[in-house]
Structure 1
Amino acid sequence: MYKIMTAGPTQVRENVRMARSQECTNPDLDQEFFDFYRETCGLLSKALHTENEALILGGEGILGLEAACASLTEPGDRVLVIDNGIFGKGFSDFVRIYGGEPVLFTTDYHRPVEVEALSTYLEKDHDFKYATVVHCDTPSGVLNDVETISKILDTYGIMTVADSVAGMFGEPLNLSDSKIDILCGGSQKALSAPPGLTMLWVSDRAFRAMEARKTPIAGFYANILLFKDYYEQKAFPYTMPISDIKGLRTALDNFFEDQEVYQRHARIADAARKALTAGGIKLYLESGWSNTVTVLEVPEGITDQQLLYGMEKDYNIMISGCFDVLAGKVVRIGHMGENADPQKVSETLAALQGTLEKLGAQVSCDMADVFQQAI
């Protein structure tokens, strides 16, 4: 088995794996499971400091992004797509699928969204039902101030859909200090549960917008409104993946037990960037680095596939390549959740250096040593 130091999925702790092996019940009929599900959702709300209802959906994190757009978008709706990364731009596809008109606010992919520039833009055009924005755009690792952005949008009555799949649980996020209406997360990133679950936090305003639609939601599996009042009715829209949810619950317990989770992520991310730059490796971003994933440019003279294959073959460590406009140009190290561990990141940097040097690239220092000193 490879050591997965990718930008998600992340490594999974033993107690999470064991929780998923517990005996199953019938989640459609067992009243105790409805309590367990609601309690777990309550912990999700507590983790992000909000009274907004949290939901767990049976599907990988992308399901949440589509469900948010499916549930809010009606034909002809103008939707502001804040685009400073591949996933940021990707929201436009979901908006278009459900009949909306995506309007892109595109900025430099090498840095975060500038809130002043967004404010200036909105002064001239703010006729949008909702806007989409990504907290940590995983392909580039850029971190956007979604709390502030949501407040700016709210001044114009624009709802916010935020993707924090690769941000939450590794980056501080306080929903009570924001105007985010639908927040999307995934189980396989900093929470370090296996892939397969979407988490959503939904405001009352978002539910009201869904209920006030003039047209039905064009979907079933991506229809958030079907979850409203699930507990009172003791009915889920579809059979819940009970083993996955039990694993998620244990991963949440692990998160709450870690009193320095955000400080640990920040220290490791900062030390990793210092080690890479000291080694002469160019980071993709100019500013706005996240604490969950670091993205570095592939040095000239080698390919991303050579680098990825070399690390897997010689060191048994897997990191991520990229896709779309960054395909072949960068590779990504995930240091989130269980991967945000000094020993694991040090081993990854040593493997990266060994592979680069074997491929003929020069590295200016012992990057693992620099990392250990910086940590």
Structure 2
Amino acid sequence: MTRIMTPGPTQVPEPVRIARSLPCGNPDLDETFADEYRDTCRLISRLLDTENETLILSGEGILGLEAACASLTEPGDRVLVLDNGIYGKGFADFVSMYGGVPVLYTRDMRHALKADELADYLEKDHNFKYATLVHCDTPSGMLNPVEELCPLLKKYGILTVVDSVSGMFGNRLSVDDAQIDLLCGGSQKAVSAPPGLTFVTLSDAAKKAMHERKTPIASFYANLCTFDGYYEKKWFPYTMPGSDIKGLRAAMDLIAADPELYDRHHRIAEATRRTLTDAGLTLYPLDGYSDTVTVFEVPEGTTDTAILAGIREQGLMLAGSFDVLAGKVIRIGHMGANANDADMEDVMAALDHTLRALGVPLKKDLLATYKDYANANCEK
């Protein structure tokens, strides 16, 4: 079976698979399910360093992003869309869909957003209901410093919506320290559960804005207010996927029990980046590197299709990208269950073999170099 070393979905650990196979009752009628759901939500909040309420939604991570915009946006609302990547720019579509007016703050895709530049911009224009930010832009491997950017926005009373679907639990993130009003996550990235769930954390300010709207929310499934009082009523707006949530709980328990989680992600990411650059390959981002995904440019003389096919022949799966980056880069996912040296060593061996077979000159052996960096970091 092909091992997926993509930036989501990731490999799924055995305890998560087992949890998903356990018997489930009827979540519409079994009142104990409300306790299971709430306990899992509270664990997610704790792991994200906040007492803000978390809600788990039945749908892939994109549902959380749309639900945030659907629930907050009223016709005519000006929304600041921080754009230095494909997903960052994509928020504008959701804002427009629900009648808002997206104002794009567009910067170079190869650089992380800078707090001082945003501060200068906000001095001149800060009349926005909320702002959207992407923590880790998966297509490019860019990590933005949301912990610096969100407090600047909050100084002007601007609500903050952050997409950290592929950032959280691989890169450190505290909701409270970063002053995030609505944070979106997903099951299939560093959480390492199968696709199908998204979860959002909601501040009191975000809830207030949703409940004080002058117009109704133009959605049912993407309306976060439909969960109001679910625990007291023992009622959910739609049938919840019990097996998926059992698996998510098992994945969160693994995260909670892993004291080396963030150090391991950083060590592996650093070793990967240094290995590729030492061998003569070019990373796509120029700064702002995420610890969940490494993205490098397709070398001259070959194609992303040829590289991915060569890797696939060796039983591994990496990813290309899409939109403006289609055909230009290769992405290695080292998030969640993928963030281990054994799998990364296999990736490096397969990538070395494939690139050399395609006639790409490498200055160093990828596997040996990766081992050197990984071992050196372990010793530190």
1:322 lines up with 2:308 in the alignment: no
Residue aligning to 2:137:
137
- One-letter amino acid of the structure 2 residue matched with residue 320 of structure 1: A
Residue aligning to 2:378:
none
Residue aligning to 2:305:
305
Deviation, 1:256, is 1.0
Q: Counterparts of 1:212 and 1:65 in 2: how far apart (Å)? A: 20
Residue aligning to 1:216:
216
Q: Counterparts of 1:344 and 1:371 in 2: how far apart (Å)? A: 12
Q: Counterparts of 1:203 and 1:46 in 2: how far apart (Å)? A: 14
Residue aligning to 2:363:
364
Give the secondary-structure state (helix, strand or coil) at the position aligned to 1:274. Answer: helix
Residue aligning to 1:336:
335
Q: Counterparts of 2:345 and 2:103 in 1: how far apart (Å)? A: 42
1:72 lines up with 2:76 in the alignment: no
Question: Any idea what the Cα deviations from partners look like across 1:193-223, whole Å, max 9, x if unmatched?
Answer: 0000001001111111011101100001100
Give the secondary-structure state (helix, strand or coil) at the position aligned to 1:105. Answer: strand
Deviation, 1:242, is 0.5
Q: Counterparts of 1:175 and 1:371 in 2: how far apart (Å)? A: 33
Give the secondary-structure state (helix, strand or coil) at the position aligned to 1:180. Answer: coil
Q: Counterparts of 2:147 and 2:206 in 1: how far apart (Å)? A: 17
Residue aligning to 2:233:
233
Give the secondary-structure state (helix, strand or coil) at the position aligned to 2:57. Answer: strand
Q: Counterparts of 2:306 and 2:106 in 1: how far apart (Å)? A: 32
Give the secondary-structure state (helix, strand or coil) at the position aligned to 2:312. Answer: helix
Residue aligning to 1:285:
285
Q: Counterparts of 2:62 and 2:115 in 1: how far apart (Å)? A: 26
Residue aligning to 1:348:
347
Q: Kindly, what percent of the aligned residue pairs are identical?
A: 60
- One-letter amino acid of the structure 2 residue matched with residue 342 of structure 1: D
* TM alignment of 1:107-256, pairs within 5 A: 107-256=107-256
Deviation, 1:176, is 1.6
Residue aligning to 1:268:
268
Q: Counterparts of 2:282 and 2:76 in 1: how far apart (Å)? A: 43
- Runs (4 or more) in structure 1 with deviation over 6 Å come to none
Q: Counterparts of 1:159 and 1:343 in 2: how far apart (Å)? A: 42
- One-letter amino acid of the structure 1 residue matched with residue 285 of structure 2: L
Q: Counterparts of 2:94 and 2:180 in 1: how far apart (Å)? A: 19
- One-letter amino acid of the structure 2 residue matched with residue 128 of structure 1: F
Q: Counterparts of 1:35 and 1:258 in 2: how far apart (Å)? A: 24
Give the secondary-structure state (helix, strand or coil) at the position aligned to 1:74. Answer: coil
Deviation, 1:75, is 0.5
Deviation, 1:158, is 0.2
Question: Any idea what the Cα deviations from partners look like across 1:232-262, whole Å, max 9, x if unmatched?
Answer: 1111010001000000000011111111100
Q: Counterparts of 1:164 and 1:19 in 2: how far apart (Å)? A: 25
Deviation, 1:267, is 0.2
Residue aligning to 2:377:
none
Question: Any idea what the Cα deviations from partners look like across 1:24-54, whole Å, max 9, x if unmatched?
Answer: 1100111111001000001001001101000
Q: Counterparts of 1:239 and 1:158 in 2: how far apart (Å)? A: 34
Q: Counterparts of 1:43 and 1:272 in 2: how far apart (Å)? A: 31
Q: CA RMSD in A?
A: 0.6
Question: Structure 2-normalised TM-score?
Answer: 0.98
Q: Counterparts of 1:277 and 1:30 in 2: how far apart (Å)? A: 55
- One-letter amino acid of the structure 1 residue matched with residue 151 of structure 2: K
- One-letter amino acid of the structure 2 residue matched with residue 374 of structure 1: Y
Question: Structure 1-normalised TM-score?
Answer: 0.99
Residue aligning to 1:10:
10
Q: Counterparts of 2:318 and 2:221 in 1: how far apart (Å)? A: 32
Q: Counterparts of 1:233 and 1:123 in 2: how far apart (Å)? A: 45
Deviation, 1:148, is 1.6
Residue aligning to 1:102:
102
Q: Counterparts of 1:173 and 1:311 in 2: how far apart (Å)? A: 33
* TM alignment of 1:49-88, pairs within 5 A: 49-88=49-88
Q: Counterparts of 1:179 and 1:171 in 2: how far apart (Å)? A: 16
- One-letter amino acid of the structure 2 residue matched with residue 178 of structure 1: A
Deviation, 1:178, is 2.1
For these two proteins, the number of residue pairs brought into alignment is: 374
Which blocks of at least 5 consecutive residues in structure 1 are unaligned? none
